[in-house]
Amino acid sequence: MCHSVKQYWMLVVGGILVLSGLPAGAIRAESAVADVTDLETIERLLMDSVIGVWKDFISHLPYLIVGLVILLLTWLASAIVGNIASKLLTRSGMRRSLRDLLLRL
C-alpha cells in the first residue's frame, strides 16, 4: 500500500518505464516524480495535458470538416446516380424484380 503521493507516482512512473521497455537504469523514478508531490503541480500537469489534447483537436478540425464534406458529397452523388438509374431502368421495360436487383447493387 502506498503511503504518500510521492510513493504512488514513483510506482506509476516505474510501471510506465517497465511497459515502455526502457532499461531499468534509463530514468530514475525518483527524479521523474521529484516535482510532482504537491497538488498545484499535479493540477498544472493535468491542465497542460487537457490543453494539449484540445489544441490537437482544433488543429485536426479542418481534416474532420473536409472528411464530412466528402462523405456528404459522396452520399449526394450516390442518391443522384440511384435516381437516374431508377428512371432509366423503369423506361427500359425490364421485369420489376430484375430492376430492383440492379438498383440494390
More confident residue, 105 or 31: 105
| 3-state helix vs strand vs coil in the chain, percent to 5 | 80, 0, 20
Cα dist from 64 to 2, 22, 67, 78, whole Å: 43, 35, 5, 21
Q: How far apart are CA 40 and CA 16, in angstroms?
A: 22
Residues 14, 15, 20, 21, CA torsion sign: positive
In the chain, the percentage of residues whose pLDDT exceeds 70 is 65
Q: What is the grid cell recorded at 89?
A: 431502368
Per residue in 37-78, pLDDT (tens digit) is 678 888 888 999 999 999 999 999 999 999 999 999 999 999
Per residue in 43-54, pLDDT (tens digit) is 888 999 999 999
Instruction: Answer whether residue 1 shows pLDDT above 50.
Output: no
